[in-house]
Chain A
Amino acid sequence: MITIENLTKYYGNNRAVNDISFTINDNEILGFLGPNGAGKSTTMNMIAGFLPMSGGKVTICGTDVTAEPVKAKKNIGYLPEIPPVYPDMKVKEYISFCAGLKRLTGSEKKSEMQRVMKLLKIEDVQNKLIRNLSKGYKQRVGFAQALLGNPKFLILDEPTVGLDPNQVIEVRNIIKDLKKEHSVIFSSHILSEVSAVCDRVVIINKGEIRAIDTIENLEKPLKNSLTLHIKVAGSKAAAAAIIGVTEGVKEISEVIDEGNNITSFTVQLSGEEEKVRDVLISECLKNNISILEIYSDKPDLEKVFVELINRPVQKASLQELLEAVVPEDKSQEADDTDEKEEN
């Protein structure tokens, strides 16, 4: 298990990551979502032990990354945003070098090299210079490096960037398979990818966590506030009356007259979508109103994401801010001196 506690990073006076805490369970794929510049890569670099943290603690399989970096790093496979490859090396040489870095020797080294090259399908380019490879291949070589030595914990920073759609699917499947033996933290800003691969999602923005939950749970609040779009041909007033009185309809949020006796309604639902739809269809038919189109906005991670990212951060009260600036002990001391002065 990997525990991240109160992780904070300052670049000068600029706070890039603010007090982030979460855990990654064994055999879990955790998605790390956020817009560009949210602090994803900074956080991952800190977890991997590349960037020192300004505050907080990262524990990987019981080992503190700061206190025992070498021991902790044995359990980490890291693929940074830009694959860390040497352009002047051949793929095989590079993989061999990385295996050496991870202290693999002899037959174990050979079998590991074969395994990762086969898994990432880079065997056919193993004798090519890395500088001559396409971006997708470079990415796969970088990924292969992270898998060497079968580390328990994998940190993958946007692993599918630069891959073609086929390769993206392949890599996603590899990541899904990795779950059997590894814990994976996986960053991306491609939402469909995260919802396809990850068990849980951490959404961050401006260095702060906005949500940590499973995708289903994140989508739940939206499921209860579904939007239904109905396009009808017939009397506008009659249709509005039917929709208005149907059980499960919260409100009609928009009505657009499209001419030729065709009207589009946008309806907010409070009840179950299917029931409402059935009732609406049968009622409209009874009243000679034909339904040309009826569909609902499917709740998806994209909406959750946009909503969470754009939600303003709740500002702390003045009292809380003061407490944060003046530590308790000092404020007590100040009180004591005040009292003395008064005496």
Chain B
Amino acid sequence: MFPIYKKELQSFFYTPFAYAIAALFMMLFTYTFATAIGDMDSSNTLKFCYTEVFYNIIIYLIFLIPIMTMRTFTDERKFGTEVLLMTSPVSELKIVLAKFFANITVYIFMLAGTAIFPVITAFNGEVVISQLICAYIGIFCWGTMYIALGMLISSFTENSIIAAIIGEIVMFAVLFLDDFSNTPFISQYPKVQSVLFSFAAQPRFSYFSQGFVRLSDLVFFGSAIIVFLAWTFISIEKRRWKRG
């Protein structure tokens, strides 16, 4: 499993990819941070909090994560290297996990850059560490769920651009599922609404950004990740059966 993880990391870090995507993420984060500071009311410094910044940047992940995950399986198919992995003495589950962990490592690399802002803030004011940690846990869970989802979509197709576009659409739907469930059309069916709402990830993320770490939210994100990864595994198996 480790050689695949290492190879994936090489494909991110030996090329400009990881640095470019981290730079783009930093740029968007900086913009959000600067806007939040700019909007701050000088009479009430407490109005500014990092959690809001994090809450705002999850929309950017809709565009960044699919770019990161789109090549996960599509490139293996394109170059015919899928055969190499599948005929080596490594189980398919380990292949999926190795790729998942490699994507997570790049994501952590992206997030790590943002730590500079709390440090700068700490020089000029006070940072509520506990709330900040909660926000980081939240954004990490959210991104990890998106990575699992992106990998799943990458396993469906042979075209990385298609994988990215479909990924963006699906992630957009995941993000706004709660808003959709609150539309008048859905709210006239309370049962449907409650089912949809229970699948909505955004309200759960908002708890993290408010400084709560609830077990139910962690279980929700954990379950979503497991479901997406298991589905990825099944999708790869299914493709092998259907190949021809």
Contacts and interface: CB of A to CB of B under 8 A. Distances in A.
B48 to A, nearest CB: 43
B84 interface: yes
Interface string B74-107: 0000011111111111110000000000000000
Contact of A101 (B4, B82, B240): B4
A221 interface: no
A73 B88 contact: yes
Contacts of B90: 70, 101
B15 interface: yes
B31 interface: no
Interface in A77-117: 78, 80, 82-89, 93, 97-98, 100-103
Interface stretch (B5-13, B185-193, B214-222): B5-13
A102 B88 contact: yes
A74 B89 CA distance: 5
A84 B83 contact: yes
A52 B89 contact: no
A85 B81 contact: yes
Contacts of A145: 84
A97 B5 CA distance: 10
B91 A101 contact: no
A97 B102 CA distance: 15
Given A11-B244, A51-B240, A101 B81 contact: no
A100 B6 contact: yes
Contact of B89 (A83, A88, A89, A102): A102
Nearest to A157: B83
A70 B244 CA distance: 23
Contact of B84 (A49, A93, A101): A101
B244 to A, nearest CB: 3
Contacts of B87: 48-50, 73, 76, 78
Interface in A1-28: 11-12, 14, 16
A45 interface: yes
Nearest to A99: B3
Contact of A50 (B6, B83, B89): B83
B79 A87 contact: yes
Nearest to B15: A88
B117 interface: no
B2 interface: yes
* Contact count band on B: 20 to 34
A103 B1 CA distance: 9
Looking at chain B's contact residues, the main secondary structure is helix
Q: Which of A45, A85, A101 has the most CB of B within 10 A?
A: A101
A244 interface: no
A89 B81 CA distance: 12
A85 B84 CA distance: 8
A82 B91 contact: no
B123 interface: no
Interface string A111-152: 000000000000000000000000000000000010000000
A191 to B, nearest CB: 26
A86 B71 CA distance: 13
Contacts of A45: 83
Given A97-B7, A100-B2, A51 B81 contact: no
A109 B79 CA distance: 25
Contacts of B91: 69-70
Interface in B97-134: none
B11 to A, nearest CB: 6
A48 to B, nearest CB: 5
B244 A84 contact: no
B4 A49 contact: no
A52 B243 CA distance: 10
Given A50-B86, A69-B91, A70-B91, A86 B81 contact: yes
Contacts of A73: 87-89
Given A51-B243, A103-B89, 18 more contacts: A11-B243, A16-B244, A50-B240, A74-B89, A80-B80, A83-B80, A84-B81, A85-B79, A88-B11, A88-B14, A88-B15, A93-B10, A98-B88, A101-B4, A101-B84, A101-B89, A101-B90, A102-B88
29 contacts: A11-B243, A14-B244, A48-B83, A49-B87, A50-B83, A50-B87, A51-B243, A52-B240, A71-B89, A73-B87, A73-B89, A78-B83, A80-B83, A82-B80, A83-B80, A84-B79, A84-B82, A85-B79, A85-B81, A86-B7, A86-B11, A86-B81, A87-B79, A93-B10, A97-B3, A101-B4, A101-B84, A101-B90, A103-B89
Interface of A: 11-12, 14, 16, 45, 48-52, 69-71, 73-74, 76, 78, 80, 82-89, 93, 97-98, 100-103, 145
Interface of B: 2-4, 6-7, 10-11, 14-15, 79-91, 240-241, 243-244
